[in-house]
Amino acid sequence: MRYGKKGRKMLLLVFCICLLGYITGNYFLGKTGRMQLMVPAISAAKMQDMTEGMHEYTIKPTLYFGGHAVAYDSLEDIYYITQNMAGGSWSGALDSSESFEGSAKLYWLYDEYFTRFADALAEGHVFSLYCVDDDKNLCCSYRVVFTGMPIMVIDTLDGGDIKGGRESVMRLFDLKFSGNSYQETSCYAAIRGATSVAYPKKGYKLELDEKMSLLGMRRDEDWILTALYDDAGLIHTKFAHDVWQDIAKSNAVKKDDGTRMEYLELFSNDVYLGVYGLLERIDAKELSLAEGDILYKCVGYEEYRTDTDWSFGLEEAFDIKYPAEISMYEYHILNEYLDVFNHMTDYEKARSMINMENYVDHNIFTLLAYGCDNLLRKNNFYLAEHNPKKKESEYTFIMVPWDLNATWGNVQIEDMSCNKTLYMPEVIEDPNPWSLDVKQLFECYPDEIADQTYRRWNTLRKEILTRERLFGMLDEDFAYLYASGAYDRNYRRWPEGILEGCIYLRVCGRKAGVFGYIFCESLCGRVGITASVMILERYGSGNGKVCIYIKESGNRGTDICTLIYGIENLGVYLGMKSRYRIWVCLFFYINF
C-alpha cells in the first residue's frame, strides 16, 4: 500500500502519540510504583492467585540488568542492582534468562518503597521479585536490593578463592560516572598488601587484559582495590588522597599530584565483600614521567645499607617502579640522596637536590593529616626527576604520599584486636609529625624552612584548606556512603571493622591547634626571661600553646618536645633549660 505525503505525516503523528503515551504511561506507573525497570508491580493477592498450584524452579533463572547477569550474594540470598542516586528515580531494564528463551515473565510484588527512591537505597530495602512461567507451571522468588554505588564483580574461572592469584572475569556496573554503564574483561586478580593480608577482608590488585577507564578515572590495565578494613568509617584514605591532590594541584610542581580513589561495592564468586576503594596506581603514567626519571617506592626502613652491595643494601627498603630495566646507577642516585639527608652536613647540597615547594607541601600535609605512617620515608614515593641542564645536581627529588589510612588521628599499633589501628585523641594537638627530610633541613636552617612553611600555609588555609572546603569534601563522601546504603551494608558484612568517631573534630583540631603557627626562631645560649620578653614584644600575649623543640648542644640525636600552656610560662621554662640549644615554635588557636 502506498501513502501520499499527507498519509505519511499522519502515520508519523500516530507513531509519536503512541510513543509518547508509552513513555508517559511508564513514567506515571513508575511514580505510583506500578512499573519499575520495565517490570510491572502487582499486589500480593494477585501474585498468590497467579502462582497457586505452581512448582518451584529447581534452578532459578538468571536475572539480567541491562542484559548482564546481576550481582548476587549467596550469604544473604540477595541480588544487587546499581542505580544512579543523582537521577532521583529508577532506571534500567530487568529481565531473566527464561524471559529471553521462553514464556516466563517477571513481576514485582507491589511495595511502597518504589515511590521512595532515596529511602529505598539508603535503607537497603529488600524488594520481592517473582519469575512466573504459565506454560511450564513454574515460579520462583528473588530478594533484590538497590545500591547507589557502582558494583564490581570478580568471578574466578575455576570458582576458587582469589588468594595468591586467579585468572578471573571482571564485570563493572556503573551508572554514577559518565561513560560505559557496563564493562567486562578477563583479568588476573591477586591479594595485595603487607599488614592487610592478615585481615579477613582482603585487598586486591587487578591486571586487566585490556586498558579501561573505570569509575571516571584514567584508562589503564593495572588497578588496586583497597579493602578499607582498618580505615575507620571508610573515609580516611579517600579524604587524605583528595586533600593531597588539592594541595599538589595548587603548586607549580608538575609531577606530584598523587592518585585518585573512588568507592564501589565488590562481589566475588557470589559473595558480597563490602565497600572498597578503587585506586589508580602511582606510576610513570600517573606522574607523567619522562625518560631519565626514576621512581622509587619506600616500603621499609634502611636497616641494611652497605657500600659493598650493588644496591647499597636498599632493595629491602625501596622498590624501583621506573624504569623497568634497572642497574646499580638507579640505586647510586638514591644512595647519594640518603647520604646527604641522613647526615645533613651540607645544607646547600641538600637544598639543591629537592623541589623545595613540593617538600614544604608534603610536610604541611603530614602535619595537617597527622600522617604518622608517612613521616620516616616509608609509604612515600620518591621521584628523582632528571634534569641534565641543572648545575648543582642532575636530579631533583619530589615526594608523593601513599597508603593513607593512618591519618586524621588514627595511629597504627601492633594490636589485631583493633585491626592495628587506633584513634588516639592526644595526637590531635601533637606538633611532632614533621616529614623526616624536611625536619632535617629545618634543624640546619630553621628560619628559611619556617618562613617558607608559614607563607605556604597562609596561602593554603585561605584558599585551598578552608573549613568550608574540607568539611564539604567530608560531607560529600559521607553522604554518598550513607545514602547509597553501602556504609551500613559494609559493616553488617564486617561488624568487627572500625567505625568512625568524628573526623570533623579531628580535622578542626589538627588545623586549628597545630597550624595556628606564627613564629619560629633559633635561640642559642642562655635564654630565659630575655627570650620571653622578646617574644611578648613581637607577638603580644595570649593563651596560645607554645611548642618547644630542644636539641642538646652537640647532640642531634636528642629530641624533646614539650607543650607549655600560656606564653607567660615560656620564660620560666626556658630559664630551666639554659644548657640546651633551643628552637622555639609558637602555636595559637585560631578561628577555624
Please indicate, yes or no, if residue 92 is contained in any of the structural domains. Answer: yes
Q: Considering its fold, how many domains does the chain have in total? A: 4
For residues 418 and 465, state if they share a domain. Answer: yes
Predicted pLDDT at 71: 98
Please indicate, yes or no, if residue 214 is contained in any of the structural domains. Answer: no
For residues 332 and 464, state if they share a domain. Answer: yes
Please indicate, yes or no, if residue 580 is contained in any of the structural domains. Answer: yes
Predicted pLDDT at 451: 83
Please indicate, yes or no, if residue 163 is contained in any of the structural domains. Answer: no
Decide the pairing of beta strands 261-268 and 151-156: parallel
Residue 206 has pLDDT above 90, yes or no: yes
Predicted pLDDT at 29: 44
Predicted pLDDT at 127: 98
For residues 546 and 405, state if they share a domain. Answer: no
Please indicate, yes or no, if residue 357 is contained in any of the structural domains. Answer: yes
Q: Return the percentage of the chain with pLDDT > 90, whole number.
A: 54
* Residue 353, CB-side half-sphere exposure with 13 Å CA sphere: 22
Domain boundary among 124, 147, 170: 147
Cα 329 to Cα 290, 291, 309, distances in angstroms: 17, 15, 12
pLDDT digit string (tens) for 90-141? 999 999 988 767 789 999 999 999 999 999 999 999 999 999 999 999 999 9
Residue 553 pLDDT class (50, 70, 90 cuts): very low
For residues 54 and 98, state if they share a domain. Answer: yes
Residue 412 has pLDDT above 80, yes or no: no
Contacts of 487-494 with C-beta under 8 Å, sequence gap 24+, read 487/234, 487/275, 488/124, 489/124, 489/147, 489/265, 489/272, 489/274, 489/275, 490/234, 490/265, 490/274, 490/275, 493/272, 493/273, 493/274, 494/200, 494/201, 494/229, 494/274
Please indicate, yes or no, if residue 384 is contained in any of the structural domains. Answer: yes
For residues 505 and 522, state if they share a domain. Answer: no
For residues 493 and 553, state if they share a domain. Answer: no
Domain boundary among 147, 181, 211: 147
For residues 555 and 504, state if they share a domain. Answer: no
Residue 22 pLDDT class (50, 70, 90 cuts): very low
For residues 555 and 571, state if they share a domain. Answer: yes
Full-model pTM: 0.82
Mean pLDDT of all residues in the chain? 81
For residues 494 and 445, state if they share a domain. Answer: yes
Residue 429 has pLDDT above 50, yes or no: yes
Residue 450 pLDDT class (50, 70, 90 cuts): confident
Predicted pLDDT at 361: 96
Averaged pLDDT for residues 199-228: 95
Residue 387 has pLDDT above 90, yes or no: no
Please indicate, yes or no, if residue 219 is contained in any of the structural domains. Answer: no
Domain boundary among 512, 532, 552: 512
Predicted pLDDT at 538: 41
Stretch among 71-85, 198-212, 415-429 having the lowest mean pLDDT:
415-429
For residues 496 and 372, state if they share a domain. Answer: yes
Averaged pLDDT for residues 432-438: 85
Give residue 448's domain range.
287-512
Decide the pairing of beta strands 138-147 and 78-82: parallel
Predicted pLDDT at 307: 73
Collapsing DSSP states into helix, strand and coil, what is residue 145?
Answer: strand
